[in-house]
């Protein structure tokens, strides 16, 4: 194919990435609107409209586009449906001083990067997408413009920079071994395996897999809470989707050894996240370690090919749970302070319904009925057991047992928010939550329960085209 034909192909394929294009155009207009000093409320409305537009105009097709660098399949379609909604959820957070049009511009950039991350079928495009999300994330982290925020942003930047360098090095090794950057042309070789490992570390960094999770607690602690809610969902889910694609298309590279390595990493992540969360008193730090543990649960789902629907269910639940939990935290925050457990003590007597909502998200994050969190864990353990059964692999069995035990342990720290809410006696505290936010909290909590009673409700939401 000569340059001319390639250009024509690229021109023809622009319709395929319509939702990304809407987002890009929207963010450029957002910058102009911001410079015209539009009030923040209208900025938010505009962003919401753009997000809904990208949701509505997403193309449900499958195949390779843009000279085989962009791939469209179920998964990328699911992401164009899910991630704008998650971002919309972040938009609904309480008004805080750091929010400005630049903030939302950066959120949109991360979202765009995340969508490209899922859609790429080429190592270099993937790298560029990851860098796009990373740079915007570094900036978002520091948006409090205080000492803690800067420290968090700096840490994030340093770790992120190193991991991206390692990733690039891995890509160069892969290119050296195969003379190609397309996923499906990679085959197993020693050099390629080394390269793949380095390359994966970049994605593991994004999805906060131990030992690439070091940045998580500091970043989550220092960043604004709505940004944290965003980091813990959009780029992370996109990272997992990218991992899913990588494993799916680099089948030639696939090797039992790799599977064992990834299971070991998953087990380590679960254990580390759970144990570290046990000792936290800052709610955001606690949730951050909890999110690390959840990464360990999602990781094996990327590994196996026949689990698309379970992966889908898990990430939807994960997004709903996390947005709900962080929204809840943010609504209880005082100006410029992180929420500590003692800040919510005794509120349950005056605000029982908020207490019930805190029980729902805590129980969902632990994975207990009657919430979707339980179904997600049930599906996950079922598929893990099936793999154990068919391969008689001790790694899968260990994964199940560690996962189950850590669920029991995670009860202890997740339940501490409702615990302080109801069981500590302190009548002096007051919070103000307006009706609109209360409605959103209730809706999200209700969604979690609905997803338990009818887990197939989202089948229509993103049906499968090529199962």
Contacting residues toward another protein, per CB under 8 A: 306-310, 349, 352, 359, 363, 368-370, 374, 378-379, 381-383, 385-386, 388-389, 392, 397, 400-401, 404-405, 407-408, 411-412, 415, 419, 422-423, 453-456, 459, 464, 467
Query: Residue 465's closest CA among 167, 110, 58?
Result: 58
Query: Please, which residue, 139 or 325, has the CB nearer to another protein?
Result: 325
Q: Is the peptide bond before 211 cis (omega within 30 degrees of 0)?
A: yes
Query: Please, which residue, 5 or 459, has the CB nearer to another protein?
Result: 459
Contact 233, 91 (CB under 8 A): no
Report CA-CA distances (Å) from 113 to 21, 296, 348.
12, 23, 40
Helical pair 190-206 and 123-141, crossing angle rounded to 10 deg: 30
Query: Residue 96's closest CA among 24, 149, 32?
Result: 149
Q: How far is the CB of 6 from another protein (least distance, A)?
A: 35
DSSP string for residues in 161-204: HHHHHHHHHHHHHHHHHHS--BGGG----HHHHHHHHHHHHHHH
Query: Please, which residue, 181 or 375, has the CB nearer to another protein?
Result: 375
Q: How far is the CB of 363 from another protein (least distance, A)?
A: 7
Q: How far is the CB of 384 from another protein (least distance, A)?
A: 9
Query: Please, which residue, 202 or 296, has the CB nearer to another protein?
Result: 296
Query: Please, which residue, 230 or 422, has the CB nearer to another protein?
Result: 422
Query: Please, which residue, 127 or 297, has the CB nearer to another protein?
Result: 297
Q: How far is the CB of 146 from another protein (least distance, A)?
A: 35
Within 10 A of 386 (CB to CB), how many other CB atoms are there? 14
Q: How far is the CB of 422 from another protein (least distance, A)?
A: 6
Question: Which sign, positive or negative, has the C-alpha torsion 196, 201, 206, 209?
Answer: positive
HSE-CB of 418 using CA atoms within 13 angstroms: 20
Q: How far is the CB of 350 from another protein (least distance, A)?
A: 11
């Amino acid at each position: 194919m000569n340059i001319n034909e390639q250009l024509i192909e690229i021109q023809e394929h622009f319709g395929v990435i319509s939702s990304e294009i809407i987002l890009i155009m929207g963010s450029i207009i957002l910058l102009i609107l911001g410079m015209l000093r539009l009030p923040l409320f209208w900025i938010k409305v505009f962003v919401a409209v753009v997000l809904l537009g990208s949701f509505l105009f997403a193309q449900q097709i499958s195949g390779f586009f843009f000279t085989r660098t962009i791939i469209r399949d179920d998964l990328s379609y699911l992401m164009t449906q899910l991630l704008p909604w998650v971002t919309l959820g972040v938009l609904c957070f309480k008004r805080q001083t750091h929010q400005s049009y630049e903030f939302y511009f950066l959120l949109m950039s991360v979202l765009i990067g995340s969508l490209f991350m899922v859609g790429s079928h080429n190592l270099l495009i993937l790298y560029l997408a990851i860098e796009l999300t990373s740079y915007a994330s570094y900036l978002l982290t520091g948006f409090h413009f205080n000492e803690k925020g800067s420290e968090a942003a700096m840490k994030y930047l340093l770790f992120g920079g190193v991991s991206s360098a390692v990733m690039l090095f891995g890509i160069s090794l892969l290119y050296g071994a195969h003379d190609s950057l397309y996923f499906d042309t990679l085959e197993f070789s020693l050099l390629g395996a080394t390269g793949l490992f380095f390359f994966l570390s970049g994605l593991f960094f994004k999805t906060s897999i131990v030992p690439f999770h070091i940045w998580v607690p500091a970043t989550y602690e220092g960043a604004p809470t709505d940004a944290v809610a965003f980091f813990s969902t959009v780029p992370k889910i996109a990272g997992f989707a990218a991992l899913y694609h990588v494993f799916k298309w680099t089948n030639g590279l696939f090797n039992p050894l790799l599977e064992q390595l990834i299971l070991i990493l998953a087990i380590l992540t679960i254990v580390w996240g759970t144990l570290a969360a046990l000792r936290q008193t800052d709610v955001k730090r606690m949730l951050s370690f909890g999110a690390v543990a959840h990464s360990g649960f999602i990781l094996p789902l990327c590994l196996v090919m026949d689990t698309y629907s379970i992966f889908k269910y898990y990430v939807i639940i994960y997004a709903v749970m996390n947005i709900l939990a962080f929204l809840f935290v943010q609504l209880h925050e005082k100006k410029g302070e992180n929420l500590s457990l003692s800040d919510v003590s005794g509120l349950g007597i005056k605000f029982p319904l908020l207490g019930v909502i805190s029980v729902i998200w805590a129980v969902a994050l632990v994975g207990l009925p009657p919430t979707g969190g339980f179904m997600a864990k049930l599906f996950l353990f079922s598929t893990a057991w099936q793999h154990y059964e068919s391969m008689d692999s001790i790694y899968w069995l260990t994964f199940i047992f560690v996962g189950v035990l850590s669920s029991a342990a995670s009860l202890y720290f997740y339940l501490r928010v409702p615990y302080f809410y109801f069981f500590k006696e302190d009548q002096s505290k007051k919070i103000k939550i307006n009706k609109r936010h209360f409605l959103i909290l209730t809706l999200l909590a209700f969604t979690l329960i609905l997803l338990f009673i009818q887990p197939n409700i989202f089948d229509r939401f993103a049906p499968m085209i090529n199962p």
